[in-house]
Amino acid sequence: MMGGKITRVEVAVPERRYEAIIVSGLLEHAGAHLREILGNRKHLFVVTVPQVRRRWGKKLMASLASAGLKAKFIEMPDGEQHKKLATVEALGEKLTRLGADRDAVVLAFGGGVVGDTAGLLASLYMRGVDLVQIPTSLMAQVDASIGGKTGVNLAAGKNLIGTFHQPLVVLIDPIVLSTLSDRQFRAGLYEALKCGVIGNRKLFEYLEKTELKTLRRNAAELQWVIAESIKLKAKVVAADEREGDLRRVLNFGHTIGHALEAESEYRQFLHGEAVAWGMIAAAAIAATLGRLDENARDRITNTVFAIGPLPKVTARNHGILRFLQSDKKTRNADIHFVLPTEIGRVEVVRDVPSEIIVQALDELKRLSQA
Ligand SMILES: NC(=O)c1ccc[n+]([C@@H]2O[C@H](COP(=O)([O-])OP(=O)(O)OC[C@H]3O[C@@H](n4cnc5c(N)ncnc54)[C@H](O)[C@@H]3O)[C@@H](O)[C@H]2O)c1
Ligand SMILES: [Zn+2]
């Protein structure tokens, strides 16, 4: 089924201009789109995980075949714990066994874990081969597949090994989200909400008034939410591809979010859920500092909660604060907060007093009890 109109969002980074193409039913036309971009290059390798392959693999392969493109699957095991160098090595070995040369094209077909791992593989294999992102989780569709960051984790922290490797194109089919669990769907939606608060008031207001169930059923509106989120990210990375101050606005909700994830050893929260709490905390901090009015703060908090239940925040403050500090040490990054000043606008603030951070953490725990 081909849904409504195609949305094309251009991502223009210095080394490349590429498009994110978004439309329901796109998977069935992936072959035609890739044929246009790749010509008749022969060596396509689809990196994926078993559960995505099982549900959507046939559809993708049929569409590639009908466009005269030959592709082979190479699988990696599912889960964040496999986003590591050993997986990149294993995938590389599979590529050589299948005869992949410098003309190979890697198609990353899965959630953000596949996108980041396959992206790193593509940037390293034979010093770099072409990459196509076909994200299948909402998190990957609104965020991970755009901007060219690749990476894997080390024991010391997430994404500590990585590169920038931009894809040739990003193909987004909201239909594949139908098999995503509600929890994973919500986790991705918090990143879309983040984009709304950072710089898209209309997107925020849409999410504020729309029920999750309605959104999941409405392909056209889902396409719009994805496209608006990507536009925001594309605008930011085009202006600042690397980690400068501008790109930092994308970290709204991530300062506390990362600390919550790390403190709970990545077991309690999905990334998006930790970011959801982080956005509530950032709004609280902004309000305490007198930079955000109470009404806007409540709207942000209420919209986060309206998306659905979140795992409770139970950690001790000093534990969370320790991880705020350790992030700073590992990455030599200063502790900065991205604080909303109104809905659709944020600022980067570096000198938030620790009492005010503690107060925000207390608030998260109070809300967890409510
Ligand atoms: N590169 C970036 O800029 C960037 C940005 C944000 C997040 N990330 C990374 O992305 C990762 C998180 O991505 P994620 O949330 O997609 O997690 P994930 O890739 O682990 O996917 C979550 C789960 O959903 C499954 N899944 C994916 N698509 C599905 C579908 N259509 N139907 C059924 N199940 C499906 C996956 O197999 C997995 O079990 C993290 O490692 C994070 O660091 C990267
Ligand atoms: Zn994030």
**Residue 290 pLDDT:** 97
- Contact by Cβ (8 Å): 131, 165: yes
State in Å: Cα 191 to ligand 2 middle. 6
**Residue 241 pLDDT:** 64
**Residue 370 pLDDT:** 83
Q: Decide which of 335 and 291 is more confident.
A: 291
Q: Which atom of ligand 1 is the closest one to the Cα of 146?
A: 3
> Could you report the per-residue pLDDT of 145-177, keeping only the tens digit for each?
999 999 999 998 899 999 999 999 999 999 999
Alpha-helix residue ranges (DSSP H) falling in the chain: 30-38, 50-52, 58-66, 85-97, 112-124, 138-139, 182-199, 201-209, 212-217, 219-239, 254-263, 271-288, 294-307, 317-331, 354-369
Q: What is the pTM of this model?
A: 0.96
**Residue 14 pLDDT:** 85
State how far the Cα of 253 lies from the Cα of 190, in Å rounded to an integer. Answer: 10
> Could you report the per-residue pLDDT of 11-21, keeping only the tens digit for each?
999 888 999 99
Give the number of whichever ligand sits closest to the CA of residue 158.
1
For a pLDDT cut of 70, what percent of the chain falls above it?
A: 96
Give the number of whichever ligand sits closest to the CA of residue 144.
1
Position 331 pLDDT exceeds 70:
no
Position 246 pLDDT exceeds 90:
no
- C-alpha dihedral, 226 to 74 to 241 to 41, nearest 10°: -100
By C-alpha distance, which of 126, 129, 127 is closest to 104? Answer: 129
Q: Decide which of 40 and 251 is more confident.
A: 251
- Residue 266 zone, left/alpha/beta (φ > 0; ψ -120 to 50; rest): left
Position 1 pLDDT exceeds 60:
no
**Residue 329 pLDDT:** 63
Mean pLDDT taken over the chain = 94
**Residue 243 pLDDT:** 65
For a pLDDT cut of 90, what percent of the chain falls above it?
A: 88
State how far the Cα of 57 lies from the Cα of 166, in Å rounded to an integer. Answer: 23
Q: Is the CB of 110 under 6 A from ligand 1?
A: yes
**Residue 247 pLDDT:** 86
- Contact by Cβ (8 Å): 151, 116: yes
Position 3 pLDDT exceeds 60:
no
Model confidence at 335, pLDDT cuts 50, 70, 90, reads: confident
Residue that the structure tokens 């309000």 belong to:
287
Chain centroid to Cα 328, Å, comes to 22
- Per annotation, catalytic residue among 29, 158, 216, 233: 233
Distances (CA, A) of 34 to 136, 164, 240: 17, 22, 28
Q: What average pLDDT does range 172-194 have in this prediction?
A: 98
Model confidence at 358, pLDDT cuts 50, 70, 90, reads: very high
Q: What average pLDDT does range 54-73 have in this prediction?
A: 97
Model confidence at 77, pLDDT cuts 50, 70, 90, reads: very high
Q: What average pLDDT does range 60-74 have in this prediction?
A: 96
Q: Decide which of 244 and 98 is more confident.
A: 98
Chain centroid to Cα 205, Å, comes to 21
Q: Is the CB of 147 under 6 A from ligand 1?
A: yes
Q: Is the CB of 163 under 6 A from ligand 1?
A: no
**Residue 160 pLDDT:** 94
**Residue 339 pLDDT:** 98
Position 5 pLDDT exceeds 60:
yes
Q: Which of 123-127, 334-338, 360-364 has the lowest mean pLDDT?
A: 334-338
Q: Is the CB of 240 under 6 A from ligand 1?
A: no
